[in-house]
Structure formats: C-alpha cells, structure tokens
Amino acid sequence: MARILLFPFLLIFSLLSVTVHAEPPTADYALSAGDAVKIQVFQNPDLTVETHLNEAGNISYPLIGQIQIGGLTPYQAERKIAEALFKGGFVNNPQVTVVPLITQGNQVAVLGQVNKPGRYALETSNLRVSDVIALAGGINTIGDDIVVIKGFRSGKPFQAKVDLYRVLGQSADETNLLVLGGDTIFVDRAPMYYIYGEVQRPGAFRVERNMTVMQALATGGGLTSKGTDRRLEIHRRLEDGRVQTIEPKLTDVIQANDTLFIRESLF
C-alpha cells in the first residue's frame, strides 16, 4: 500500500512550523489583489497615482482606464503602463516607476481539508506549496495528497496540481511549485470507498494508491466470525450512472466510491 506510507509525511506536516522573516518586496515580487502602489511618470506629475489593486488585479489609471497589473512584478507593470501610455499617444517615451507601498495582498489562501484553513502571509519569496501546507497545519486525515493551486502568472490565470506524495517521497521535485501572493491552494477530500456487511469496522475509508480488495478488508478491521471472503461484491457506479455489481478477486484494485459488501458465511 504505497499510498499508506504518505500518512507519516502528513503527520510530519502537522508538526512542522516554517520560520519566515519579514523582508521588503524584492524585484521579482508579484503584485496581487489588495496591494497599494504608487505610480509616477517622469516629468508628468499629473500622472502620479496612489491606488490599490482590486480583486481581479486591476487598477484604474488616468488616460488609460482599467489595466491589469496583478501577477506582474513592479518592473513588468512599469513596462505595461509605459506601453499603454505610448500606444495611446498620451506620452512620448514615458518613464514609469511603480513602487509597492503596502503588500497586504501578498497572502495565500489555503482551503479545504487542512488542519488550519485560512490566509497566510508570504513573508519570503521562496515558499513552495509544501511549505504553505505546513503553515496551514498539514493535511487532515481525510484530505487528498493531490492539491490544486490557482492564481496568476505574468498577468494570466494559472492553475496546476501538485502531488504531495511525490514531493515528500523525493529529495527534489519540480512540481513543488513556488507560491505567489494571491494564490489559492485547495485540498480536496480524498477518494473514499465504503465497506459494510460482516466486517469489524464498517464505514467509509480513503482509497490508498493501488489498494487491493484484501487491503481494503484489512483497513476495515477484517472479517467478523460470521464473515466470508467468498462471494464478495463490489457495487461500482459507472459513468452513465448505472451501478455495476462485480465479484472481485482479493487482488483486484479498489476504485473511488466503490461499495464493498461482505456476506455472511453459510456454514
């Protein structure tokens, strides 16, 4: 049961505490919703603006109107505003400066099956998904080990999945993505299977990777004195909504939402 081996790692997550130190925004800091910025254009004092990025990462700027700078570094935002001023014929050779004033938007939301869901400040620029999960107290007992991260990269919507089993099982993994301000990390409920009949602990259990019917029975505490592993039944819902009844072998693999029924022995 390779996936069961993930639980010690998840428990370590629950005990981890990541120490971070506040630092001023670096050149590669990505602006995000809630940030306050000061924008200046050389020799154009009437274009000096202090404003906040809205939830979509946009600001309203004189002459240009709405422009999205969320997900951009200050340098990238400077170039984008300068290009808009030049193409609009408002300023020849505009020299734009964007200075972050308040980076309260430099937070990440962690939602779903973690021990401490909420918003967390990214006080360093090198935190990865696994670090933020640790800040949120780790994944709880019914959480999945594949998490979803959403946000903006270079001003464009971004979404990816991170397999924490791979991240924690290897010394380095390129899929342990860097987290930026404004990102949302969501931990879904793990796939579950259901077991009832003559088993010690009937109920719902998480489906581990490559879990067999025999392992599923063991997770349920094994058979009762009246139970038999003969004529087992799995009730499996198909894509078209129909429920298929299967008589599995003990070595068959359990799937998400399977219902395993253990009959009473006839003898």
Residue 44 clears pLDDT 80, i.e. is over it: yes
Query: Which residue shows structure tokens 């038999």?
Result: 228
Is 0.85 topped by the overall pTM?
no
pLDDT tens digit sequence for 122-169? 777 788 999 999 999 999 989 999 999 998 887 788 999 999 888 876
* Residue burial 71-86, b: 16+ Cβ < 10 Å; e: rest: bbbbebbbebbbebbe
Can you give the pLDDT at residue 171? 53
Can you give the pLDDT at residue 131? 92
Residue 27 clears pLDDT 60, i.e. is over it: no
Can you give the pLDDT at residue 11? 43
Residue 52 clears pLDDT 60, i.e. is over it: yes
> Reduced to 3 states, what is the DSSP secondary structure of residue 5?
helix
Domain ranges for the chain: 2-24+106-189, 36-102, 192-262
97 vs 229: which has the higher pLDDT: 97
Can you give the pLDDT at residue 141? 87
Q: What percent of the chain has pLDDT over 90?
A: 59
Average pLDDT over residues 18-37: 62
Can you give the pLDDT at residue 123? 72
CA 60/CA 259 separation, integer angstroms = 55
Amino acid in position 1: M
| CATH pick for 36-102 out of 3.40.109.10, 3.30.1950.10, 3.40.50.1820, 3.40.190.10 | 3.30.1950.10
pLDDT tens digit sequence for 175-211? 889 998 888 999 999 999 999 999 999 999 999 989 9
Can you give the pLDDT at residue 249? 93
Q: Are 124 and 148 in contact (CB under 8 A)?
A: no
Can you give the pLDDT at residue 126? 84
> Reduced to 3 states, what is the DSSP secondary structure of residue 213?
helix
Can you give the pLDDT at residue 41? 96
Averaged confidence pLDDT in the chain: 85
pLDDT tens digit sequence for 6-16? 444 444 444 34
Can you give the pLDDT at residue 104? 67
Please tell me if the domain spanning 2-24+106-189 has the same topology as the one spanning 192-262: yes
CATH code: domain 192-262 is 3.10.560.10
Residue 3 clears pLDDT 60, i.e. is over it: no
Phi-psi region of 212 (alpha: psi -120 to 50; beta: other; left: phi over 0): beta
> Environment class of residue 98 by beta-carbon count within 10 Å: exposed (0-12), middle (13-18) or buried (19+)?
buried
Q: Which CATH superfamily is domain 2-24+106-189 in?
A: Outer membrane lipoprotein wza domain like (3.10.560.10)
Q: Are 90 and 119 in contact (CB under 8 A)?
A: no
**Least confident interval from 63-67, 104-108, 179-183:** 104-108
Can you give the pLDDT at residue 173? 61
Can you give the pLDDT at residue 168? 76
Can you give the pLDDT at residue 190? 94
pLDDT tens digit sequence for 202-248? 999 999 989 999 999 999 999 998 988 888 999 999 888 899 999 99
Average pLDDT over residues 88-106: 88
